[in-house]
Amino acid sequence: MSDPKASESFDSSDYRRALGGFGTGVALVAARDAEGVAHGMIINSLTSVSLNPPIMLWCLARGSSVFDIYTQAPAFSLNILRSDDHEVARAYSRRGADRILPLDQVCTMETGAPVLTAAVASLDCRTRLRQEMGDHEVIYGDVVAYRGDPGVDALGFFRGRFVTLKSGA
């Protein structure tokens, strides 16, 4: 194990590599802008905060080009990607890319936020709270509706690569 990094010599690239040792699922957060256009972006900072009431959180970089869309949205959806959704993950994680969701790939549930029709699971959330934390905004949402397909493998990310998260034992 390497020596702990002192704060004055903190290397953000090295830190990101260290965090890469924690495998995560890959999710697409979706919301509508002020004109009603559906936008999506890939996140890996997704956490269940509470089961009763059901509350989720995710994190958004303050420097993101879509920061205003997501911080002004009254609702959003969290969509867990399928194991074969590598291209979706790449397309919606590129900086400066067009992140508008095609109408034929979304539906709505309770809040009117766009929801991916082909996701492993989707959580329809009403924005509860936004909190500034370092260089990110933490966005909390009350889950008002959800759906899932438990027999489908999910897309994961580990040490800079996509992996398959298997369903079942």
| pTM for this entry | 0.88
The answer to whether residue 30 scores a pLDDT higher than 60 is yes
Residue 151 has pLDDT above 90, yes or no: no
Cα atoms found within 13 Å of the Cα of residue 78, Cβ hemisphere only? 25
Residue written as token pair 């489908």: 152
Q: Which tens digit of pLDDT belongs to each residue from 39-64?
A: 999 997 899 999 999 999 999 999 99
Domain map (residue ranges) of the chain:
24-149
Tell me which residue of 143, 31, 141 sits closest to 76, measured CA to CA. Answer: 31
User: Residue 118 region, left (φ>0) first, then alpha (ψ -120 to 50), else beta?
Assistant: alpha
Which of 11-25, 35-49, 144-158 is predicted least confidently? Answer: 11-25
Say which CATH topology domain 24-149 has: Pnp Oxidase; Chain A (2.30.110)
Handedness of CA 61, 66, 71, 73 (dihedral sign): negative
